[in-house]
Amino acid sequence: MCLIQVIGLVISSETVVQLGTLGWVLLVYPIVPSIIYALFLTRGGKKRGNVPGAADNLSACGVAVAMCRFLVQNPSFIPDNIEIRFISFGSEEAGARGSRRYVERHLDELKRLDARLLNYEIIAYPEVAIITSDMGGVKHSAEMVKGVVSAAEHAGIPYKVASPAIIGGATDAGPFSQAGLKATTLQPFKTPQQVVAFYHQDRDGPGVLSIEPLLNVLKLTFEWICNAGE
């Protein structure tokens, strides 16, 4: 719009200059959908909301707890010289604050230990998407993705290697990859069908979950751990 105004000045045309002042109208047009989308995600009263969050992301919490419980009861499956940490990061929806803080505080330790993060995000579809990139276009470790693909093949579960299901989406693997650590995210989530069906809505209750996606992620994770994250 500024260029239109400049052209109007160059050719001494008041009409063209005025055309360039209509910028607010054209600016509001693309912003309105964003405002509606933001309101759609933030409904609810003070300190509360109306999204149960069964798929996003209690499903991941449940799988992490189940995997942890199994390994505590069956430590013989943990490879030698391997330490496993099960972590549920807070504030992922607010700029991945929890995982970002964790990386900042433990970066030297994580690099020294050659840490690898296998992150879960929305476990709601049998086919497991192994995500190759994250927030801001940061690329996940190719070595990490290759290892997870190998685990999926050995586990005999359906998978695909893909970019994030949600355009512009960010997961807790992002801060790890941004810091040069090895990480990726498993995102068993079908778009656009499940986005429309329950994503960030009050319909995201236990009824949207099924056992097959949860078992597939558990099987893949078990194979990946048994192979020492390679």
Judged against a pLDDT cut of 60, whether residue 140 lies above it is answered with yes
CA–centroid distance for 35 within its chain: 22
Residue 48 lies in a domain: no
Residue 46 lies in a domain: no
In angstroms, the Cα distances linking 178 to 82, 136, 184 are: 24, 9, 11
Instruction: Categorize the per-residue pLDDT at 34 as very low, low, confident or very high, splitting at 50, 70 and 90.
Output: confident
- Residues 24, 103: one domain? no
Structure confidence by residue, pLDDT tens digits, 151-162: 999 999 999 998
- Residues 20, 108: one domain? no
Give the count of alpha carbons within 13 A of 70, CB side only: 15
- Residues 160, 193: one domain? yes
Residue 95 lies in a domain: yes
- Residues 176, 68: one domain? yes
Least confident of 15-29, 89-103, 114-128: 15-29
Q: Are 128 and 216 in contact (CB under 8 A)?
A: yes
The whole-number pLDDT of residue 46 equals: 59
Residue 165 lies in a domain: yes
SS3 209: coil
The whole-number pLDDT of residue 48 equals: 55
Distance between CA atoms of residues 211 and 49, nearest Å: 26
- Residues 85, 7: one domain? no
DSSP β-bridge partners for residue 182:
116
Structure confidence by residue, pLDDT tens digits, 151-207: 999 999 999 998 876 666 689 999 999 999 999 999 999 988 998 899 888 899 999
Distance between CA atoms of residues 66 and 213, nearest Å: 14
Residue 207 lies in a domain: yes
- Residues 142, 207: one domain? yes
- Residues 58, 37: one domain? no
- Residues 107, 13: one domain? no
Please provide residue 88's backbone torsions phi and psi, each rounded to the nearest 5 degrees: -110, 105
Question: Domain total for the chain?
Answer: 2
Which one, of 200, 142, 139, 201, lies nearest residue 164 by Cα? 139
The whole-number pLDDT of residue 99 equals: 95
- Residues 25, 58: one domain? no
Residue 123 lies in a domain: yes
Which residues are CB-contacts of 98 (< 8 A; sequence separation ≥ 6)?
A: 89, 90, 91, 92, 172
Structure confidence by residue, pLDDT tens digits, 109-118: 999 999 999 9
- Residues 30, 74: one domain? no
- For residue 75, what is the domain's CATH number? 3.40.630.10
Structure tokens at 163: 């970019």
Residue 18 lies in a domain: yes
Residue 33 lies in a domain: yes
Q: Is the pTM of this model over 0.95?
A: no
Q: Which range marks the domain in which residue 151 is found?
A: 54-226
Distance between CA atoms of residues 9 and 14, nearest Å: 8
- Residues 91, 172: one domain? yes
- Residues 141, 175: one domain? yes
Judged against a pLDDT cut of 80, whether residue 133 lies above it is answered with yes
